[in-house]
Amino acid sequence: MTRVDLISPIDGSVYLSRDILDRDAAFAAADRARKAQPDWAARPLEERIALVLKARDIVGQTTDRMALELAWQMGRPVRYGGEFGGFDERLSHMAEIAPGCLAPDVIEDSDAFRRIIKREAHGVVLVVAPWNYPYMTAINTVAPALIAGNTVILKHATQTLQVGERLAEAFHEAGVPAEVFQNVVIDHDTTSALIAGRKVDFVNFTGSVGGGQAMERAAAGTFLPVSTELGGKDPGYVRADADLDAAVETLMDGAVFNAGQCCCGVERIYVAEPLFDAFVEKATAWAEAQVLGNPLDAETTLGPMANIRFAREVRAQVAEALADGAVAHVKTKPADDGEGAYVTPQVLTCVSHDMRVMRDETFGPVVGIMPVQGDDEAIRLMNDSRFGLTASIWTRDVQAAEALGARLETGTVFMNRCDYLDPALCWTGCKETGRGQGLSTLAYQALTRPKSYHLRRS
């Protein structure tokens, strides 16, 4: 049997190894999920909600362990305490709104007709989850899928294999049957085979553009719904009337937190010319104040990137930009040896959209900053991207922000904040960021199918 190693970014050691299921074993898991689904869907909605909430509580009892394990698996400093806050917020909201979202839509109930639209579970939902926020991104789909009556197969990223195991432990301890929620370790070919063979009924994928393309190729001709959240190159625009200090603090945190490995992390900042010099000065000071080091140390604010190959891509983009005339403002930190997973947070100016660092997803602690003359130039540059996940506007004028937001090619428009998922709002994107409807009431629409009842009374 083939095994996979999880290499810790802390020191390059093998943190854990797991066997990879072969095709027959993976298909058997899917068959168990399909067989269990009708009984799970037949349980009262209130019971399914209660079991999911109980699993939440069990996860909440292990936050110290969660923080430590995440540090070893993907490098986030223990000082941030894991992910239970966002995990709880998202799961709890989806549980709260479920009865309303899944209630039948009664069109008519008269002496002549009863006409209703009901929501039915798809069946078996395959969740392919990423490593960068491994608990929160997985629960975005796992919780509403189970609540809606689907069974779930979770395939977690190699970098965070242990997270899938911990989630399975919690849900099973809560009383969710083992066949209803399964965590599997499978390779790309087996994942594609499950999809192409229609062993699942809905696919949710968060990851790279290439990964999303592979999912859609596997599903070609099957008519399976495939929900994707792929790359991003999220911009921020600081207008001349912005609160400068608040903009610097929040945008830089959005660019650097989690070593810049955030789906909606800020990778491009456009600043109104009058504020540009001050913004760069303050942004540089913010980056210089970060403590890059071992994520197990309490004083560390910035840990290593999750894998050396991710760090290599970040360094390559920065080196190319510098060769083309960009200016780096942050001196290399002691923990950054130029080769390993520990990468200095960097502020770049004199950048342009001819540079990869302003076009391709960097997914690291680097941000390019450009001056702009006004709204029109900012909108043009913000839209000059093949991605469209989020965009933020920094201003004191709500009406202006909403008007500018209507011109942005993006899934979410922020004003005076960034890098946040509001579970009451739909998490979605456009262009090469993919297509999907996560969280909010729309998640339940995506994770179920409508069935119409047209009943004529005698």
The answer to whether domain 234-422 has CATH 3.30.200.20 is no
Q: Any bridge partners for residue 106, and if so which?
A: 116
Which one, of 286, 288, 293, 291, lies nearest residue 341 by Cα? 293
Residues 28-65: tens digit of each pLDDT:
999 999 999 999 999 999 999 999 999 999 999 999 99
Q: What angle do CA 170, 56, 30 make, to 5 degrees?
A: 50
CA distance 391 to 314: 21
Pairing of strands 346-349, 327-328: antiparallel
pLDDT of residue 62: 96
Q: What are phi and psi of 121, to 5 degrees?
A: -60, 145
Instruction: State how far the Cα of 162 lies from the Cα of 265, in Å rounded to an integer.
Output: 24
Residues facing residue 391 across a β-bridge: 413
Sheet harboring 448-456: ordered strands across? 105-109, 113-121, 448-456
Specify the DSSP class assigned to residue 176.
-
Per residue in 93-110, pLDDT (tens digit) is 999 999 999 999 999 999
Cβ distance 361 to 264 under 8 Å? Answer: no
Mean pLDDT, range 123-129, rounded to an integer? 98
Element (H, E) at 388: strand 387-388
- How many other C-beta atoms can be found within 10 angstroms of the C-beta atom of residue 228? 22
Residue 279 vs residues 57, 249, 409: alpha-carbon distances, Å: 42, 10, 25
Average pLDDT for residues 122-138, to the nearest whole number? 98
CA within 13 Å, CB half, 341: 27
Question: 164-185: per-residue pLDDT in tens?
Answer: 999 999 999 999 999 999 999 9
Confidence of residue 419 (pLDDT cuts 50, 70, 90): very high
Is the pLDDT at 1 greater than 80? The verdict is no
Intervals of CATH 3.40.309.10 along the chain: 234-422
Kindly report the number of other CB atoms within 10 A of residue 16's CB atom.
Answer: 15
Contacts of residues 399-408 at CB distance under 8 Å and 24 or more positions apart, as own/partner, are 400/239, 400/375, 404/237, 404/375, 404/378, 404/379, 407/379, 407/383, 408/379, 408/382, 408/383
pLDDT at residue 191 in the model = 98
* Per-residue tokens: 51: 């079991």
| Alpha-carbon gap, residue 147 to 151, rounded angstroms | 9
Catalytic residue list: 229, 263
- How far, in Å, CA of 237 to CA of 401, rounded? 10
Rounded CA-CA distance 305/8 in Å is 10
**3-230+434-456 sits in which CATH class?**
alpha beta
233-247 pLDDT, tens digit per residue, is 999 999 999 999 999
Mean pLDDT of 13-17: 98
Q: Residues for the chain: how many in total?
A: 458
Mean pLDDT, range 158-162, rounded to an integer: 97
Residue spans in the chain of domains classed CATH 3.40.605.10: 3-230+434-456
Summarize pLDDT for 342-369 with one digit per residue, the tens. 999 999 999 999 999 999 999 999 999 9
pLDDT > 70 in the chain, percent: 100
d(CA 117, CA 316): 53
- The per-residue pLDDT of the chain, averaged, comes to 98
pLDDT at 458: 87
pLDDT, tens digit (0-9, with 9 covering 90-100), for 255-300: 999 999 999 999 999 999 999 999 999 999 999 999 999 999 999 9
